[in-house]
Amino acid sequence: MKPATFTIDGIEVKAQQGANLLWAALDNGFYIPNLCAMREAAPPFASCRLCFVEIEGRTAPITACTETVSDGMAVHLNTPKAQRLRNRAFELLLSHHHLDCRNCAKNRSCELQNIASRLGLKLKLKRLRRIPRELSIDSSHPLFTYNPNKCVLCAKCVMVCHDQGTGILDFAFRGIDTAVTTLAGAPLAEAACNSCLACVAVCPVGALVAKPSVSLEEAKAAVAHLI
Ligand code: FES
């Protein structure tokens, strides 16, 4: 790939021509909120819709994770349109998320908390009605627990589960009922899980969490090459 010079918020940045814009921005110290992006995932899943930016010459904001760098492009991160789109996407994610930070194993390491704090947003919804899910929590696996009510459908666990060659996690149902689950909703202990803990390591929220006997470091070590 050839080198490209472009600007982000008026500051000159260098990256490889054709590199992914989200990673190029993050690697150069510019923050763009993101939940579903994984460096190894091609094409990007682009489900969270948090990474909107504006590019001069384009008619509408675009998700940075699906855009590539080109020489001379001018990217703007915090235009009113981009902010409005990502704030709306964040609210929609929260409207489904079981918010119980105080009792959540991911409290203070949750990506939703991080994004809210970086963007100056609140986790408690004011405009949208919360649509709580009341799905069963799966604690059957000896090493981790899955709480689908906290899942933000980012697909990271589905992707790493496939990458690990297991592929027991996938999406089921449609629309508002979409959920990550095992085949036919079998308990994790009865699915062919190889206990790699890759899903736990990549979950950005408290949906997939290691049981107290397992350290997150062990989980992260299992997928250090993916995140
Ligand atoms: S990071 Fe781009 S849509 Fe999720």
The per-residue pLDDT for 217 is 65
Mutate to test the pocket of ligand 1, among 30, 51, 52, 90 (most ligand atoms within 8 A of CB): 51
Ligand 1 shell residues, CB under 6 Å: 34-37, 46-51, 63, 65
Kindly give the number of the ligand 1 atom that is closest to the alpha carbon of 37.
Answer: 1
pLDDT digits (tens, 9 = 90+) for 5-23: 999 999 999 999 999 999 9
Sign of CA dihedral 197, 63, 42, 172: positive
Please measure the distance between the N-terminal and C-terminal CA atoms of the chain and give it in whole angstroms: 23
Token digits of residue 213 = 């006997």
Query: For the chain, which domains are there?
Result: 1-132 (3.10.20.740), 133-227 (3.30.70.20)
190 Cα: distance to centroid of ligand 1 (angstroms): 32
Torsion sign over Cα 11, 12, 14, 18: positive
Give the Å distance between the CA of 207 and the centre of ligand 1.
18
Task: List the single range of 15-24, 48-57, 175-184, 202-211 with lowest mean pLDDT.
Answer: 175-184
Q: Which two tokens stand for residue 142?
A: 């000896």
Which atom of ligand 1 sits closest to the CA of residue 63?
2
**pLDDT 10s digits, 105-123:** 999 999 999 999 999 998 9
